[in-house]
Structure 1
Amino acid sequence: MAWCAATVSMASPVCLVDNGPDGCMRVQQEALQVLEQIQQPVVVVAVVGLYRTGKSYLMNRLAGKHTGFALGSTIESKTKGIWMWCVPHPSKPGHTLVLLDTEGLGDVEKGDEKHDTWIFCLAVLLSSSLVYNSMGTIDNTALEKLQYVTELTEHIKVKSSGYDQTTELMRVFPSFVWTVRDFTLELIMNGKAITADQYLESALKLKPGHTTKIMRHNQVRQGLRDFFAERRCFVFERPANTKNMKRMEELTDADLESDFVETAKEFCSHIFSSAKPKTMRGGLGVTGRMLGSLAETYVEAIRSGQVPCLDSAVESLALIQNGRAVAEALEFYQREMERWVHLPTETQEALSQIHAAAEEQAVSIFISGSFNDQEHKHQIELMRSLQEHYKEWCGRNVEESRRVCERVLQRLCARLNRSLRDGALMRPDGGGYGAFSAALEEVKEHYKTEKCRGLMNEEVLRGFLREKEVVGKSILQADRLISAAQKHKEECRRRAEEEARRVQSEEEERRRQEQQLRQEERSFRQNVEQLQEKMETERRRAQQERDRLINAKLQEQKDLLEQGYTERAESLEKEVAALREEAGRKAESAAHSSALSSVLDTLGTAAIAFMPGIGKLAGAALVTLARLT
């Protein structure tokens, strides 16, 4: 009965975003259908850069293929819009690697800078690692072609007000990897060998001063430093001679320059090990289907002339995902119950075990599919619905058991009923009661050997014997061969048997009710435990997010002080202090288990509202525990 989130391995890429007949961006349904199937966390790697710079080749390498994203060998740009390729992540089990190859920026045929800006923004918004691909060297010309970075705050917002946009954007923006193709220089500075990362950071140094020329020089550099906390660089030598460059899709590693192949392997290794799963603010994880919804949300904002808003995207995603997560969890539960429950079950425990297994998976489906479930409203809805479905199954189990038992007794009692209808047991000469008692005992013995009667077998038998007791009394009183004393003794025996059956029946009902209530309590605790686990994962991600920001700003502060930018360095010191204060509050909150208290309080109150008996007591106990934590 196991359920697992599935990945999708695509044979080739599909278009995710293109322009429709009206000239406006649109999300392709084929790509959404692919993402809809991916309920795993996704690591999203997007590549951007000028057209005809070899972006698609890098994406094919990451996919482990020679072909896939169109390479082309002419001056014409092959990729239009944003193309997507989903493959199982090679080093992160349970994750899907989503590769996004974007339309080349600066296509002379297109000549639409606004479109280029939105392509760049979408790549930033959707990815967890952004690769910028360029040719030659990282010089002022190369940086000027990355002017889209300076426009990010104009085209992406966190919230209408109340936030430092730059810090908040850095919090959620992807890591940045600059790949420099056909690099012919030696990585030497001031007579010493440097790394590619040092080469990038050197190119991003700011010039002191406030003239228009200097500010223009610093603009892109400052944007890259402000928005991307993690920056890496890889420099690639020319892969092959000009003739072979035209048929790159046909070449194997053996046909390429060894240094190029080695750098390509290092680049792929870095992406596989360092690119993180896609998250939203607060460490909220994103699955493939959520990524599809995000793409639709952002593109719709662009189409309507609005600026994509991160908080609005979170709210929109929560609205879409949580209702769907509840529906899918319930659908799975019902499907599993229909598959494994064969009514009637012999005991309540048998039904309870199947329910528990199906419910655990259903809750897991909800937890993995839910997104920012504020006040746990949707989880409470799921708890209530699962409880109602379980009660319905319990009721069906009782009724089916009753029906089966009555049918068995009707079959076993057919001959006795014929004798009663024919009056054969009401003989004037006596002996009828003995024959009646023997026939009834035979029915009871055969009834005990019947299988699949279910948990109502004693209760139904008791009702059957009560019905026959009236007839038995009449036969007993009419039987002349039995003395008054014997009749009295037989009456006492019958009453004792009835009392024993009543006690046994009530005991079975009590055990059934207790089992059902224990299951309710177990279900409730299971909801709490799985939610706690997800909250802890999101808390750790949020902490990593803050640590990443603090480290990036500390490094930036150090660099600025070395370059004489004391004013900006002091501003960064305040930003770092604010982030540390935030981290301290979160750590104190976690230490006092306030988040857990909120969960226990909210879900415990819900349990009191709709869970009877033991479940209600468990809810009350957890609310009390919440007050104490």
Structure 2
Amino acid sequence: MTSGPIMLVPVCLVEKNNEQLRVNQKALKILRKISQPVVVVAIVGPYRTGKSYLMNHLAGENLGFPLGSTVQSETKGIWMWCMPHPNKPNHSLVLLDTEGLGDVQKGDPKNDTWIFALAVLLSSMLVYNSMGTINNDALEKMHYVTELTELIRVKFSQRLDGLEDSTEFVSFFPDFVWTVRDFTLELNLHGHPITEDEYLENALRMIPGDNDKAKNTNTSRDCIRCFFPNRKCFVFDRPKYEKELLAHIEDVLENQLNPEFQEQSKNFHSHILTHAKIKTLREGVKVTGNRLLTIIFTDPGTRQEVDMEERTLSMSPDSFYVPVLSEAVRLLFLRGYQLGLHSNNFFVFYFPTFPFQDTIEREKKGLLLQNEEVSVNCCEARLKQLSGPLMRSISRGAFSVPGGHRLYLEAKKKVELQYNLGSRKGVKANEVLQSFLKSQLAVEKSILQSDKALTAKKKAIAVERLKREAAEKEQELLRQQQQEQQEMMEAQKGSLKEHIAQLEKKLDRKMENLLKRLENNLDHKLKVQEKLLTEGFQKEAEKLRKEIDRLRDELDDINTKKSSIVSQILDLVSSVIRVGTSADTLLDVVRNICDLLRRHFS
């Protein structure tokens, strides 16, 4: 449901026309659009006491309700400013600035009483603004309270059941705040400091005595204490001592005001926005802007009658008969009486006659149909508001994901739960809900089908991803194994090279030793041959020559084999190193080379 229009400036709610109070139709249109509970703060008091400044401060603005710099009263009638409540979400704050009481330029002083009565009946917190101190003069100016309570007593004494009980109307009276402007006294009583609230309560103490002056003073005090049980007091220093600046205080920056006044204003502002309650009727029904019209129209001071349309409430048909009957009696009462004043100030009422039962039945049928329409409109508006996030999620495809059907059901269940928890939906609540749920069946089916398809696709993608990840892991493992094998082969190749080099050195040493022995042996035999020839042993020398030739052949053969074997070994190792082979093959090559060397050079 909509909260109502945003007002940039106040509008006149109750205006004076030829000394008669009339309700402004523009203000009515604004109130009709406020479907949220309203917190209504009204301010009353003598004219030119700075009421409009306090209300502008509550609104958070310097300008709004008109201020004045002369002795002439600026505000006429009752002005209204509606705005979202800054401290209470989904609530509206309604500020009412009233015409100053006691203006000497007024034609009919009775208007002050009706202005005060309307402020009391409309508000959930009433601020009475005065200047200086709370003394007998200030209390005597509160005679409007006495007149209001007398008016209410007369009205209640005319009830059909004959009951008169002040608690009947005290229950819907507003909380009371007394603000004292330009306060110059010290908050001190009998030598002890006191609070602002204690200052007010002390001022409301009854004065002993039976004289007329004491009785008149005590009457206002007793009425305030009786009919406003919840009371609060704030005192304010002078905001600015420079007269020329004070005359145009709306143009003065807040930080240019006296620090004491700034702190007092801050405390007042905080208290009002924190403690001002929702306006309620006697039955405990929370008042919206639309229902606030009922109070305005019902009050005789506006000289207007209430339309039955403004009294339509969402309730079950079985409980309609008693409210309809009461409403018919109330309308009979309102349409029948003519207000007059006798010398004793008692109100006299005249009642006409008309078909009572027919009116009840006609009003009952009309209200039943109207109640159903109001219930449907209310419930559809509430469902539209609650389902807004769900619809936006559907539009942007938030549920077109695997598992989207479960997410959609949770979101829809949340809307249904919030709807059921709401109050005052009326007789069509379930019907409207079922219609909404039915309208969602096609959407739900589409989301479910999409969910199944996307879930199956997601599973297939997951399987493929697992396969791909397994293959990648296997490839990575193989790569690591190859790398490790390559590293091992490189290490073995290095080791083989070193081993071959060592064998070659060893072979060289053995060959050198062998050749050296053969050469030594050959030299020895040559010397022996030479000696035999010299001594004439030709036959022995020839035999020795053959052995020398054999040694020379053996020496040549050893040199040839050495070069060939070394060349073969080196070629084999180079080929293995160049082409690459497994670690086992390398080991076999090493073993073979070693055997070869042992066979030939052992």
Taking structure 1 as the reference length, the TM-score comes to 0.53
CA apart distance, 1:68? 0.8
CA apart distance, 1:355? 8.0
Matched, 1:127 2:120: no
CA apart distance, 1:142? 0.9
In structure 2, the partner of 1:14 is: 11
In structure 2, the partner of 1:291 is: 292
Matched, 1:257 2:258: yes
SS of structure 1 residue aligned to 2:219: helix
Matched, 1:173 2:173: yes
SS of structure 2 residue aligned to 1:379: coil
In structure 2, the partner of 1:239 is: 239
In structure 1, the partner of 2:427 is: 380
Q: Which amino acid aligns with 1:236?
A: F
- Identity, % of aligned pairs? 47
SS of structure 2 residue aligned to 1:197: helix
Q: Which amino acid aligns with 1:106?
A: G
Contact 2:177 2:232 in 1 (8 A): yes
SS of structure 2 residue aligned to 1:238: coil
SS of structure 2 residue aligned to 1:285: coil
CA apart distance, 1:282? 3.6
In structure 2, the partner of 1:63 is: 59
Q: Which amino acid aligns with 2:16?
A: N
Matched, 1:223 2:223: yes
Q: Which has the higher contact order (CA 8 A, sep 6+)?
A: 1
CA apart distance, 1:288? 2.7
Cα pair distance change 1:188/1:451, threshold 3 Å: closer
Contact 1:330 1:362 in 2 (8 A): no
In structure 2, the partner of 1:327 is: 377
In structure 1, distance between residues paired with 2:134 and 2:372 = 45
SS of structure 1 residue aligned to 2:232: strand
CA apart distance, 1:221? 0.5
Q: Which amino acid aligns with 2:427?
A: I
Cα pair distance change 1:212/1:325, threshold 3 Å: farther
SS of structure 2 residue aligned to 1:184: coil
In structure 2, distance between residues paired with 1:292 and 1:188 = 45
In structure 2, the partner of 1:201 is: 201
Cα pair distance change 1:244/1:223, threshold 3 Å: same
Q: Which amino acid aligns with 1:56?
A: S
Q: Which amino acid aligns with 2:243?
A: T
CA apart distance, 1:82? 0.8
CA apart distance, 1:261? 1.4
Contact 1:294 1:313 in 2 (8 A): no
In structure 1, distance between residues paired with 2:438 and 2:29 = 36
Matched, 1:91 2:79: no
CA apart distance, 1:350? 12
Count of aligned positions: 384
Q: Which amino acid aligns with 2:379?
A: A
Cα pair distance change 1:391/1:261, threshold 3 Å: closer
CA apart distance, 1:222? 0.6
CA apart distance, 1:119? 0.6
In structure 2, the partner of 1:117 is: 113
In structure 1, distance between residues paired with 2:450 and 2:330 = 54
Matched, 1:41 2:37: yes
CA apart distance, 1:194? 1.5
Contact 1:39 1:288 in 2 (8 A): yes
Contact 2:22 2:303 in 1 (8 A): no
CA apart distance, 1:5? 5.2
In structure 2, the partner of 1:281 is: 282
In structure 1, distance between residues paired with 2:421 and 2:439 = 22
CA apart distance, 1:143? 1.0
In structure 2, distance between residues paired with 1:272 and 1:48 = 18
SS of structure 2 residue aligned to 1:296: helix
Please list the CA deviations of residues 384-420 of structure 1 after superposition, one character each: whole Å capped at 9, or x if unmatched.
46557867998xx79xx9xxxxxxxxxxxxxxxxxxx
Give unpaired runs (5+ residues) of structure 1: 343-347, 371-377, 402-449, 453-629
SS of structure 2 residue aligned to 1:117: helix
Matched, 1:30 2:77: no
Contact 1:121 1:155 in 2 (8 A): no
Q: Pairwise mapping of residues 360-399 of structure 1 onto structure 2 (< 5 A)?
A: 367=423, 370=424, 379-384=426-431, 386-387=433-434
Cα pair distance change 1:451/1:62, threshold 3 Å: closer
Contact 1:10 1:86 in 2 (8 A): yes
Taking only aligned residues, the RMSD between alpha carbons, in angstroms, comes to: 4.2
In structure 2, distance between residues paired with 1:155 and 1:23 = 20
SS of structure 1 residue aligned to 2:214: helix
In structure 2, distance between residues paired with 1:215 and 1:147 = 12
Cα pair distance change 1:52/1:322, threshold 3 Å: farther
Please list the CA deviations of residues 70-102 of structure 1 after superposition, one character each: whole Å capped at 9, or x if unmatched.
011111111111111122222223322211100
Cα pair distance change 1:266/1:211, threshold 3 Å: same
Q: Greater CA deviation, 323-332 or 238-247?
A: 323-332
Taking structure 2 as the reference length, the TM-score comes to 0.55
Contact 2:372 2:427 in 1 (8 A): no
In structure 2, distance between residues paired with 1:361 and 1:102 = 40
CA apart distance, 1:31? 2.0
In structure 2, the partner of 1:522 is: none
In structure 1, distance between residues paired with 2:94 and 2:185 = 33
CA apart distance, 1:200? 1.1
Cα pair distance change 1:330/1:142, threshold 3 Å: same
Cα pair distance change 1:138/1:350, threshold 3 Å: closer
SS of structure 2 residue aligned to 1:35: helix
In structure 2, distance between residues paired with 1:321 and 1:185 = 57
Please list the CA deviations of residues 436-489 of structure 1 after superposition, one character each: whole Å capped at 9, or x if unmatched.
xxxxxxxxxxxxxx999xxxxxxxxxxxxxxxxxxxxxxxxxxxxxxxxxxxxx
In structure 2, the partner of 1:464 is: none
SS of structure 1 residue aligned to 2:299: helix
In structure 2, the partner of 1:531 is: none
CA apart distance, 1:363? 5.5
In structure 1, the partner of 2:101 is: 105
Contact 2:15 2:21 in 1 (8 A): yes
CA apart distance, 1:333? 5.1
Contact 1:297 1:313 in 2 (8 A): no
Q: Which amino acid aligns with 2:272?
A: I
In structure 1, distance between residues paired with 2:75 and 2:97 = 8
Q: Pairwise mapping of residues 531-570 of structure 1 onto structure 2 (< 5 A)?
A: none
Q: Pairwise mapping of residues 432-581 of structure 1 onto structure 2 (< 5 A)?
A: none
CA apart distance, 1:7? 5.7
In structure 1, the partner of 2:70 is: 74
Q: Pairwise mapping of residues 340-419 of structure 1 onto structure 2 (< 5 A)?
A: 367=423, 370=424, 379-384=426-431, 386-387=433-434
Q: Greater CA deviation, 76-85 or 107-116?
A: 107-116
In structure 1, distance between residues paired with 2:414 and 2:239 = 55
SS of structure 2 residue aligned to 1:284: coil
Please list the CA deviations of residues 470-517 of structure 1 after superposition, one character each: whole Å capped at 9, or x if unmatched.
xxxxxxxxxxxxxxxxxxxxxxxxxxxxxxxxxxxxxxxxxxxxxxxx
Contact 2:379 2:428 in 1 (8 A): no
In structure 2, the partner of 1:184 is: 184
Contact 1:239 1:245 in 2 (8 A): yes
Give unpaired runs (5+ residues) of structure 2: 312-322, 332-363, 396-404, 452-602
Q: Which amino acid aligns with 1:123?
A: A
Cα pair distance change 1:353/1:256, threshold 3 Å: closer
Highest CA radius of gyration, 1 or 2?
2
Contact 1:207 1:214 in 2 (8 A): yes
